[in-house]
Amino acid sequence: MSVTSTLEIRRSSASVWGSGSSLRSLPAVSKLVDTSTCIGCKACEVACQEWNDLPAVATFNDGDYQTLKTLDAAFWNLIRFDEREVDGGIKWLMRKDQCMHCADPGCLEACPAPGALVQYENGIVDVNPAQCIGCGYCQTGCPFDVPRFSAKTGKMSKCTLCVDRVSIGLEPACIKSCPTGCLHFGTKDDMLELGRRRVAQLKASGYANAALYDPAGVGGTGVVTVLAFGDHPEWYGALPASPSVPWGVALWKKLLRPLGFLAIVGAVIGAFGHHLYHGNKGHVDPGPVDTDEPKA
Amino acid sequence: MSKVVRQIGFDEGAYVARDKEDVVVGNEIIRHRLSARIIHWAVGITFFGSLVTGLPVWTPVFGWMANLVGGLSVCRVVHAYVGLLFAAASLAMAVEWWGDMKMTKEERGWVGPKLLEYLRDAANHDRIGKYNGGQKVYFYTSKLSALGLLVSGVILWFPTSFPQWVRVVAVILHDVTFILFAVSLVFHIYLASVAEPGTLNAMTRGTVSKAWARIHHPKWYRELMGLEKKGS
């Protein structure tokens, strides 16, 4: 997060009233990832590390092509490799795992620190390290398990969709590096259009279940993905079929918090009211009982 | 008593209350010995420490409280440690009071309509011992809440060590137990101070007046005065 001043904020975490600052609107931007043309070269991984100046993360060779098992605080773009048996043949599937920049971000919903997570007017979801308290609630709220805690900085971090580049009219670093044209960047509308055309091509080529992954459960994402096997998103590095913000986060923020607030304030008012009405507490007189001083 | 040099204005009640309770001293009765009072205030202070550092994280409405300790990032760290102290103090409290808190069948009624009867001043108090049913219900509520807050709090402290669904459950549990505790605490503070004058003294110097004991805990009073056999 380095360009707050140049992009207007649509939504900001932990704000009670008026969470956005914008009067003007910008078109939502999006990446398009065509998994069917990804060759697993990992140029996007390198470009991401280079542009964002992220330190190298130690890798472990466990006989897999995947760079890391999972995303890291210093590794925001991971190509996940999966092998699936389809019609007697092996399909080698790759998926670009990164922040999906949801239109309804669960991370932002769960975040307790005002302004630590922001959604810019163009749809990019970003962490503001100055406000982040490193509590990790964003990871609890994320349906894609993306934000990572950095022990070095004590803050959370994730893909910024290269907001610093996008805000001055450049495409994200990963897009620039892709040699096969499987990555595209533009307005969300343009990317949806391009994605639908690609899905139609795939269907014509025999991939009957090809689909565009733009899950409605999170209001759509800022990374739309073309899947040749659209009926099996879970084949692509455990991509959730119908992601949504965890029910507990909504229950907590939308129901428990206001109800709890009212219950506590209500208890205080009730106690005051009780004293105004009853005065000091008394009890029913049990009648003449022997409660006097002990008889010698 | 013999070792003490008699002073003018010697506070015998407070002196005896250093290590004894449930004894009559002059016109006073020792209700809570010093160790019990220290444990009680340890729980109280650590709870309010947790409250001040927890409420700003709970909702930005209380964000101003974070400024009292140096900001939200300080809260995030301090809350966890003060919370641990609160749990430890609560454990000590449970041990200290456990023996006095056995509930009779009759007292279980305090969970329901009996509590409202009590608040309307319509309850017959004649058989009430050192603690009434409501106090016992509060004891169990606060101890169960403390346990829930501890378990869920540890999970929320180290979020990356637990699966997502466990963290979601922990968030809910931390909220529910906090709300339960906070609401019952409001009534605890009210009933132990403004509503019943003379009660707060039991937790400060440790003593209550005989008259107070006779009104609010008649059975306890009669037992201590030798008017009724204990446990009858």
Any idea what the CATH number is for the domain that residue B160 is in? 1.20.950.20
CA A193 to chain centre: 24
Q: Does residue B51 fall inside a structural domain?
A: yes
pLDDT tier for residue A295 given thresholds of 50, 70 and 90: very low
Domain that holds residue A272: 246-278
Distance from the A293 Cα atom to the nearest Cα atom in chain B, whole angstroms: 7
Q: A199-215 pLDDT, tens per residue? A: 999 999 999 999 999 99
Say whether both A262 and A194 belong to one domain: no
Q: Do B183 and A267 touch (CB under 8 A)?
A: yes
Say whether both A113 and A206 belong to one domain: yes
Contact yes or no for B128/B218 (Cβ under 8 A)? yes
Read out DSSP for A35-63?
GGG-----HHHHHHHHHTTPPP-----SS
Q: Does residue A283 fall inside a structural domain?
A: no
pLDDT at B157: 93
Q: Which chain A residue shows the shortest CA-CA distance from B217?
A: A283
pLDDT tier for residue A286 given thresholds of 50, 70 and 90: low
Domain that holds residue B64: 29-224
Say whether both A252 and A146 belong to one domain: no
> A224-238, A263-277, B132-146, B217-231: lowest mean pLDDT where?
B217-231
Number of domains in chain A: 2
Q: Does residue B17 fall inside a structural domain?
A: no
Q: A35-61 pLDDT, tens per residue? A: 999 999 999 999 999 999 999 999 988
Say whether both A263 and A138 belong to one domain: no
Q: Does residue A188 fall inside a structural domain?
A: yes
pLDDT at B41: 98
pLDDT at A214: 97
| Residue B151 touches partner A, C-beta closer than 8 Å | no
Q: At CA A292, angle to CA B15 and CA A286, rounded to 5?
A: 115
Say whether both A84 and A191 belong to one domain: yes
At A22, list the tokens: 């914008």
pLDDT tier for residue A62 given thresholds of 50, 70 and 90: confident
Q: Does residue B7 fall inside a structural domain?
A: no
Q: Which chain B residue shows the shortest CA-CA distance from A279?
A: B195
Interface predicted TM-score (ipTM): 0.89
Q: Does residue B21 fall inside a structural domain?
A: no
CATH code for position A109: 3.30.70.20
Give the separation between CA A136 and CA A144, rounded to whole angstroms. 14
Three-state secondary-structure class, residue A153: coil
pLDDT at B232: 64
Q: Does residue A285 fall inside a structural domain?
A: no
Say whether both A177 and A207 belong to one domain: yes
Q: Does residue B110 fall inside a structural domain?
A: yes
Say whether both A270 and A227 belong to one domain: no
Q: Which chain A residue shows the shortest CA-CA distance from B212?
A: A282
pLDDT at B193: 92
pLDDT at A287: 61
pLDDT at A273: 95
| Residue B179 touches partner A, C-beta closer than 8 Å | yes
Q: Do B168 and A247 touch (CB under 8 A)?
A: yes
pLDDT at A288 over 60: no
Instruction: Taking residues A8-19, report their average pLDDT.
Output: 84
Say whether both A225 and A119 belong to one domain: yes
Contact yes or no for A185/A30 (Cβ under 8 A)? yes
Q: Does residue A189 fall inside a structural domain?
A: yes
Say whether both A213 and A270 belong to one domain: no
pLDDT at B10: 79
> Hey, of A69, A283, A290, A293, which one would you mutate to test binding to chain B, going by the most B CBs within 10 A of its CB?
A283
Query: Of A228, A245, A262, at which residue does a domain stop?
Result: A245
At A12, phi and psi to the nearest 5?
Answer: -135, 145
Low-confidence ranges of chain B (pLDDT < 50): none
Q: Does residue B3 fall inside a structural domain?
A: no
Number of domains in chain B: 1
Q: Does residue A287 fall inside a structural domain?
A: no
Say whether both A129 and A271 belong to one domain: no
Say whether both A255 and A126 belong to one domain: no
Q: At CA B86, angle to CA A257 and CA B38, rounded to 5?
A: 135
Distance from the B13 Cα atom to the nearest Cα atom in chain A, whole angstroms: 19
According to DSSP H, which parts of chain B are helical? 12-16, 34-58, 63-69, 72-97, 113-119, 133-157, 164-191, 201-204, 210-216, 218-224
From the number of C-beta atoms within 10 Å of its C-beta (0-12, 13-18, 19+), residue B149 rates as: buried
Q: Does residue A291 fall inside a structural domain?
A: no
Percent of chain A with pLDDT over 90: 81
Say whether both A253 and A210 belong to one domain: no
